[in-house]
Amino acid sequence: MKAWILSKNGIDNLNLKEVEKPQVKAGQVLVKVKAVGLNPVDSMVIDLIPVNSEKIPGAEFAGEIEEVGEGVKELKKGDRVSIYNRYFDSTCSYCKSGNEMLCDNGYIFSIGSNGGLAEYIVIDGRNAFKLPDSVNFELAASLPVAALTSYNALERAKVQKNEFVVVIGASGNTGVFALQFAKMLGAKTIAISSKNWVKDFGADYVIGYENALEEVRKITNSHMADVVIESIGEKFWDLGYSLLGKNGRMVAFGTETGSNAKIDISQLYSKQLSILGSTSGSVKQFSEVVNKSKDLKIKTWKKFNFQETKEAFKENSSKEKDGRIIIEL
């Protein structure tokens, strides 16, 4: 089979090669990859995370079951699936409490093992989830990271009906899902973005960065935000923090613009604020995301075929990027 192999850091060291097709063992399934969604994790794998041996990138993907190993009962050849993209051991205290994303021995596919930028991949059957009939592979390849991360963040914040939820970077991979899930929860959504199309993804209000504080104060009648979703990192941390009202919760899960932030402690205690970290999500949450996916949508900026993967990665860092980048097989 063909696969994109990263031999060392740098996009120039990502090459399409012929490799041996993986063999299925008991409890596993062979997935014929149909789509890969690019996101910041992939850029980290290419450029930042040390490559100790050749690996196949691609953290977020979906496909079709090609072969089922002994003991797998829930899946059959031809099933269309999205992939929970983390290995977990099921035995550590975090796994036993339903927090597989925190597994002591866990890792993300493409970091601790091969990812989905190959014609086929073998995974544990428990990681493959059947898709609703109406969900295409383009959307399915956006569920494992972009959708699940947002879903867990909103659950961490315990969003309630009619609360004001502000999404910073609302047009990004996670932002469009944060808006949609927040609307499902009955929240009032405020998107901070330069893209008006986010209204089509659940934004009740769209405001710019330069006047966000004044606009949120006006929209909420000085109540301010109950929840702020912050996925960009250092650059807009102070802004997000300033938007919180009393008992406000800020959930952070990205460091694209840096990882260092300051906190005004007097505001933290006087307004009883909460700052929460969030990473990926649990198996149960992913099952819920897949079940809800028939009511979700994405905005795709560009599609590339498998042979154009290098071009796709280069476009993924473009300032003109306006939606998801999908690689189709």
Would you place residue 6 in the very low, low, confident or very high pLDDT band (cuts 50, 70, 90)?
very high
Amino acid in position 252: A
Average pLDDT over residues 78-102: 98
- What is the predicted pLDDT for the residue at 40? 87
Q: How far apart are the first and last CA of the chain?
A: 12
Among 47-51, 154-158, 286-290, the range scoring the smallest mean pLDDT is 47-51
Q: What is the mean pLDDT of the chain?
A: 96
Structure letter (DSSP) for residue 113: B
Q: Which ranges in the chain belong to alpha helices (H)?
A: 40-47, 93-96, 137-140, 148-157, 173-184, 212-219, 237-242, 265-270, 283-292, 309-316
Strands of the sheet with 274-277, listed across from one edge:
205-207, 188-192, 164-168, 225-230, 244-252, 274-277
- What is the predicted pLDDT for the residue at 258? 85
- Distance CA(311)–CA(58), nearest Å, equals 14
In terms of Cβ atoms closer than 10 Å to its own Cβ (0-12, 13-18, 19+), residue 279 is middle
Please state at what angle helix 148-157 crosses helix 283-292, rounded to 10 degrees.
Answer: 110
- What is the predicted pLDDT for the residue at 254? 86
pLDDT digits (tens, 9 = 90+) for 168-224: 999 999 999 999 999 999 999 999 999 999 999 999 999 999 999 999 999 999 999
C-alpha closest to that of 86 among 102, 59, 107, 113 = 107
Would you place residue 225 in the very low, low, confident or very high pLDDT band (cuts 50, 70, 90)?
very high
Residue 7 phi, psi (nearest 5): -90, -30
- What is the predicted pLDDT for the residue at 37? 97
Query: CA distances (Å), 242 to each of 55, 171, 261, 306, in order?
Result: 42, 21, 13, 43
Average pLDDT over residues 118-124: 98
C-alpha closest to that of 280 among 171, 170, 135, 177 = 177
Domains assigned to the chain: 2-142+298-328 (3.90.180.10), 146-277 (3.40.50.720)
Its pTM stands at: 0.95
